[in-house]
Copies of this chain bind each other. A is one copy, B any other.
Amino acid sequence: MAKLAGVSAATVSRALADSELISSKTRKRIQELAQAVGYTVNPAARTLRTRQSHTIALILPLGHEKSQHLSDPFFMVMLAYLADEVSQRGYNLLLRRIEPQQDAWLKQIIASSRVDGVLVIGQSDQAAVLQEVGSSYEPMVVWGQWSSGQSYVSVGADNISGGRLAAEHLLNRGRKRLAFLGNTDVPEFAARYEGFKTMLPPEIYEAHVLVPTHLTAQDAFSAAAQLLVEHPDIDGVFAASDVVAMSVIQAAAAGGRRVPQDISVIGFDDVPIAAQSNPPLTSIRQDLEEGAKLMCELLFRRMKGETCSSVRLPPELVVRDSA
């Protein structure tokens, strides 16, 4: 208690809050003293009193993938940007991985009043939970596929047009026998597949293959290897993520196929390693930096009680060597 330095606790509190109520000279004196003795306000007490935790929860629902996932480059890039944005605003980031057993998880986090706002990365298979919470709880922003009628604010790439871009590019490359690798249980990936399908001419559509796979490198590798054996005439692959695309390339190499001569591979996300893979990956880019900025901006606006609407970011085709 820095009140041992002359004044009352109230004065100290106000001085450190830079309140105009305190004369500038005592204010400065107290601030310097606090600095000198290394005094910091106790955040728990402050939170208790002001009902503001200055903390944002970052939630990663892992409904569809038990393991891995967090180490997917997409997550880490997103997380890095979000961490920056949030801490720039002087808030803390509380990290939570969720493996939803019961549906109460979100409500509990909110009810515990430990956080002032919630960021969710990927709706996974938890759309119902988000929908319910979203209608009554404002300070929440979700990264993911937008769907009409959703009660919560979301930010995400327009996955459908992303899928279209991918299909278009493969067709432009003269590819005829196409495959999509991904987990269509997840809304984002389902939308990518939807957009992809809409661009295919009938005869190519008939012949295309959907390969369900989890978004881990291992799963994708074996799924791709199996695909290449069962459908040796496949000459174009749209992967639901860059990690999957890299696994496809590796499986192709293992099966004696050259990329892009024998088979074109296009990924999604355009994470940093996409440019560093061999061959460099052609990918559908989502601007995660922009996305993270938007998420935070919307979140803080909602925290102030403003209303704001969801945003869909236009994805972009980045052509490198793999397709």
Contacts and interface: CB of A to CB of B under 8 A. Distances in A.
A278 B276 contact: no
A231 interface: no
Nearest to A247: B276
Size bracket of the A interface: 35 or more
B246 A44 contact: no
A180 interface: no
Given A70-B79, A73-B76, A42 B97 contact: no
Interface stretch (A103-111, A125-133, A203-211, A302-310): A103-111
Interface string A19-58: 0000000000000000000111111110110000101001
B94 A217 contact: no
B243 A276 contact: yes
Contact of A113 (B44, B68, B87, B97): B44
A275 B79 CA distance: 24
A250 interface: yes
A272 B273 CA distance: 12
Nearest to A273: B273
A83 interface: yes
A84 interface: yes
Interface string A115-126: 000000000000
A83 B70 contact: yes
Contacts of A70: 76, 79-80, 83
A280 interface: yes
Contacts of A111: 38-40
A73 B277 CA distance: 14
B272 A249 contact: no
Judged by DSSP, the binding face of A is helix
A87 B96 contact: yes
A189 interface: no
A39 to B, nearest CB: 8
A44 B40 contact: no
Contacts of A277: 246, 250, 277-278
Interface in A193-222: 217, 221
Interface in A62-110: 68, 70-71, 73, 75-77, 79-80, 83-84, 87, 92-97, 104, 107-108
Contacts of A271: 71
A114 interface: yes
A273 B72 CA distance: 9
A92 B71 CA distance: 19
Interface of A: 38-45, 47-48, 53, 55, 58, 68, 70-71, 73, 75-77, 79-80, 83-84, 87, 92-97, 104, 107-108, 111-114, 217, 221, 243, 246-247, 249-250, 253, 271-273, 275-280
